[in-house]
């Protein structure tokens, strides 16, 4: 409960990663979404998330990445693209996680690169 499912920038187009958290020994697991304009590369996001989650007792695995286009004025989020280093995240999973947080948004995904 200490970990939010979604932490993304409130506006703009930026890189994101889908991360699987798991308790050591194969206990409960859940997927979280992290994205920010501050990250030049997808691994910069993971390098920030991983130590934070380890402190809380989770093991992290990056399931892939892509980009998010967040338009807070029109309440739209578009998930697309891929990560060169981690590969493409399953955008349909990302969208389901985003829908829990942004309940009044129109959220779509595609395999488009741009």
Residue 62 CB burial class (10 angstroms; 0-12, 13-18, ≥19): buried
Q: How far is CA 107 from CA 19, 30, 72, 82, 88, in A?
A: 19, 20, 11, 17, 18
15 assigned to a ligand binding site: yes
Is 42 among the residues known to form the active site? Answer: yes
Binding residue numbers for substrate: 15
Active-site annotation, residues:
42
Binding residue numbers: 15
């Amino acid at each position: 409960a200490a970990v939010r499912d979604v932490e993304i920038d409130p506006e703009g187009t930026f890189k994101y990663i889908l991360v699987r958290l798991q308790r050591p020994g194969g206990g409960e697991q859940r997927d979280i979404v992290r994205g920010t304009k501050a990250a030049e590369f997808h691994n910069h996001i993971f390098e920030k998330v991983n130590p934070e989650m380890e402190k809380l007792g989770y093991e992290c695995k990056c399931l892939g990445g892509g980009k998010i286009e967040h338009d807070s004025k029109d309440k739209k989020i578009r998930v697309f693209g891929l990560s060169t280093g981690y590969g493409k995240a399953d955008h349909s999973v990302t969208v389901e996680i985003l829908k829990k947080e942004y309940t009044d948004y129109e959220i779509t995904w595609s395999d488009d690169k741009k």
